């Protein structure tokens, strides 16, 4: 054992080395950026294993490595099964429904973003505009969750206030993304995902060492959290924890948002454009599901382990509360204050895993948000005569603008990282997933139907979130509306596309006729 100051110094040194490595890769990658295609999709020449690791890291992100363990500690293990586990199926589902057409059509139609795909399938500019607006809204919420995780963790480690610590994380990610774009992101996030896997294995080993096994741990927690009147453990029983809304939570997340909703996550799915060989798409789905299936449960396990420590040691709960971070203080306390004293090298690896998970998502969001403004709205809809050099310059400017918006929101953080990330994930799913899934599975889609569906999905999720969910909190929102805001957006988005397509003119984009070859093209 060492004193806390020495432990922080050791953990800090590990993080400094990690940051230096990441910035070095960004500088190296800058020389390989010659055009907007290199910047956005790496020239479509990235090995599938590298993109599989990046996509898995983007799916895990800070919500699973930082926010979810805190949420599990505070409210129960059921969140892992309802939110985390169904996402494993999302990777093969994406390949089955969308992957082939995204990658095969990428070169023919110069696809780089999700609005690109929608625009070429459905036709028209407004579907691009509505999709891009939804992406920017979701990027701000989801990215803020990542920066908040970095700020809380680095703040606890370096004795910095939250805001400057978060800005340090923003600065590092902005530098390597602006320099190296997609190429830097692919290399760096293969490293990040590797660190996440190492950290996950460390987490499982530590958890077993501290608790003596999964069964013993759950039995101890159940005994300590059982309500003597009902005989139920609110920590283990999701319906009791959610005030009777458990089944509606499962419907929202396990059926709609976590599994099929992954299809609408650009930070994950746009990686398909960069795969070198379309024939290796299956490996992307397999790697994404397996890596996610290893890393996410491991950090969920840390939330359960910390709960066990709290019910068996009366000093743990007050120590976490004393950090003033609410449930988000769980991983900060575990890595900086417990492992920093007992095993600082392992603590440093766990911190690097969390930061790596956050950065594996942040870079994709900065690129997506910038592309949504510069390419999907301005270039594709209103300024089609930009040269490639102008587009590359304006992509970087737009990414800076998105970064500034995120910085401003980071100054006023919400209570829970998981809550912020859930809002962003749900907004992506509601805006994009219905139109993407129907584009490849239903011949009846039309230009007006797709545009209306994207607008409705985006608008419903955004309005319900901004007007009701944020001021009311998730629990009260669920009691009033039953389903999550994003689930309502997905359901109404699907229905809108189907109903409007049935009654509107059969106008479509050129990619529609590539996908549905038995539908004759209009003369």
Q: Give me the mean pLDDT over the 324-350 stretch.
A: 83
Reference 364, options 287, 273, 300; nearest CA is: 273
What pLDDT is recorded for position 177?
A: 63
What pLDDT is recorded for position 416?
A: 63
Collapsing DSSP states into helix, strand and coil, what is residue 468? helix
| The most confident of 66-80, 140-154, 359-373, 448-462, by mean pLDDT | 448-462
Cα gap 480→51, rounded to integer Å: 40
Cα gap 417→423, rounded to integer Å: 10
Cα gap 521→512, rounded to integer Å: 10
Cα–Cα–Cα angle for 376, 382, 385, nearest 5°?
95
Cα–Cα–Cα angle for 126, 127, 128, nearest 5°?
85
- Which DSSP string do the residues of 180-196 spell out, in sequence order? HHHHHHHHHHHHHHHHH
- Which DSSP string do the residues of 272-298 spell out, in sequence order? GGGBS-GGGHHHHHHHHHHHHHHHHHH
Structure tokens at 234: 């609110």
96-126: b or e for each residue (b if 16 or more CB lie within 10 Å)? Answer: ebbbbbbbebbeebebbbbbbbbbbbbbbeb
What pLDDT is recorded for position 39?
A: 54
Confidence of residue 2 (pLDDT cuts 50, 70, 90): confident
pTM score of the predicted model: 0.84
Cα gap 238→72, rounded to integer Å: 11
CB atoms within 10 A of CB 322: 11
CA distances from 131 to 100, 136, 449 (A): 21, 9, 14
Give the residue ranges of DSSP H helices in 159-265: 162-211, 214-225, 238-241, 246-250
Cα gap 73→70, rounded to integer Å: 5
Q: Are 142 and 120 in contact (CB under 8 A)?
A: no
What pLDDT is recorded for position 42?
A: 47
Choice between 7 and 502, residue whose per-residue pLDDT is larger: 502
Structure tokens at 446: 């039309």
The pLDDT tens digits for 162-198 are 778 877 777 777 666 666 565 666 677 677 777 778 8
Q: Are 468 and 480 in contact (CB under 8 A)?
A: yes
Give the orientation angle of helix 447-463 with respect to helix 417-441, to 10 degrees. 170
What is 4-31+46-515's CATH number? Answer: 1.20.1730.10
The pLDDT tens digits for 280-327 are 888 888 888 888 888 888 888 888 999 999 999 999 999 988 888 778
Confidence of residue 53 (pLDDT cuts 50, 70, 90): confident
Q: Are 305 and 206 in contact (CB under 8 A)?
A: yes
Cα gap 351→342, rounded to integer Å: 15
- Which DSSP string do the residues of 133-160 spell out, in sequence order? HHHHHHHHHHHHHHHHHHHHHHHHHHT-
Cα gap 232→263, rounded to integer Å: 36
| Residue 348 neighbours by CB under 8 Å, 6+ apart | 10, 11, 12, 13, 14, 15
The pLDDT tens digits for 479-488 are 899 999 999 9
């Amino acid at each position: 054992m060492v004193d806390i100051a020495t432990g922080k110094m050791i953990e800090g040194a590990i993080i400094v080395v990690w940051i230096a490595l990441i910035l070095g890769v960004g500088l190296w990658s800058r020389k390989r950026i010659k055009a907007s295609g290199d910047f956005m999709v790496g020239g479509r020449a990235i090995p599938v294993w590298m993109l599989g690791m990046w996509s898995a890291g983007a799916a895990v992100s800070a919500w699973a490595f930082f926010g979810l363990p805190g949420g599990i500690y505070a409210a129960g293990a059921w969140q892992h099964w309802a939110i985390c586990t169904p996402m494993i199926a999302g990777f093969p589902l994406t390949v089955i429904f969308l992957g082939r057409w995204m990658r095969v059509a990428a070169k023919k139609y110069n696809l780089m973003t999700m609005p690109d795909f929608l625009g070429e399938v459905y036709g028209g500019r407004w579907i691009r505009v509505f999709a891009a607006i939804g992406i920017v809204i979701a990027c701000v919420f989801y990215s803020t969750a990542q920066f908040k995780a970095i700020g809380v963790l680095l703040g606890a480690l370096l004795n910095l206030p939250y805001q400057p610590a978060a800005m340090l994380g923003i600065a590092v990610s902005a530098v390597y993304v602006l320099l190296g774009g997609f190429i830097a992101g692919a290399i760096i996030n293969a490293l990040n995902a590797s660190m996440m896997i190492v950290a996950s294995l460390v987490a499982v080993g530590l958890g077993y060492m501290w608790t003596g096994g999964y069964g013993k741990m759950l039995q101890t927690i159940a005994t300590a959290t059982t309500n003597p009147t009902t005989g139920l453990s609110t920590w283990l029983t999701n319906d009791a924890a959610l005030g009777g809304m458990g089944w509606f939570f499962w419907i929202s997340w396990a059926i709609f948002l976590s599994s099929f909703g992954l299809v609408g996550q650009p930070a994950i799915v746009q990686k398909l454009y960069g795969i070198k060989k379309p024939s290796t798409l299956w490996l992307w789905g397999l790697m994404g599901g397996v890596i996610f299936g290893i890393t996410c449960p491991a950090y969920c396990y840390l939330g359960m382990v910390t709960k066990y420590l709290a019910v068996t040691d009366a000093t743990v709960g007050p120590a976490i509360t004393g950090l003033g971070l609410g449930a988000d203080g769980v991983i900060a306390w575990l890595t900086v204050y417990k492992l920093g004293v007992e095993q600082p090298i392992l603590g440093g690896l766990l911190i690097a895993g969390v930061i790596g998970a956050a950065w594996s998502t942040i870079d994709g969001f900065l690129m997506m948000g910038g592309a949504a403004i510069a390419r999907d709205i301005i270039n594709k809809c209103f300024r089609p005569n930009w040269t490639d050099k102008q587009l590359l310059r304006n992509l970087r400017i737009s990414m800076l603008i998105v970064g500034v918006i995120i910085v401003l929101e980071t100054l006023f953080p919400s209570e829970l990282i998981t809550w912020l990330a859930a809002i962003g994930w749900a907004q992506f799913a509601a805006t994009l997933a219905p139109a993407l899934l129907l584009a490849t599975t239903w011949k009846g889609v039309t230009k007006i139907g797709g545009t209306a569906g994207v607008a409705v999905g985006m608008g419903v999720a955004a309005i319900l979130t901004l007007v009701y969910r944020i001021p009311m909190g998730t629990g009260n929102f669920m009691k009033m509306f039953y389903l999550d805001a994003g689930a309502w957006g997905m359901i109404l988005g699907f229905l809108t596309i189907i109903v409007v397509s049935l009654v509107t003119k059969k106008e479509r984009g050129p990619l529609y006729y590539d996908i549905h070859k038995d539908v004759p093209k209009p003369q």
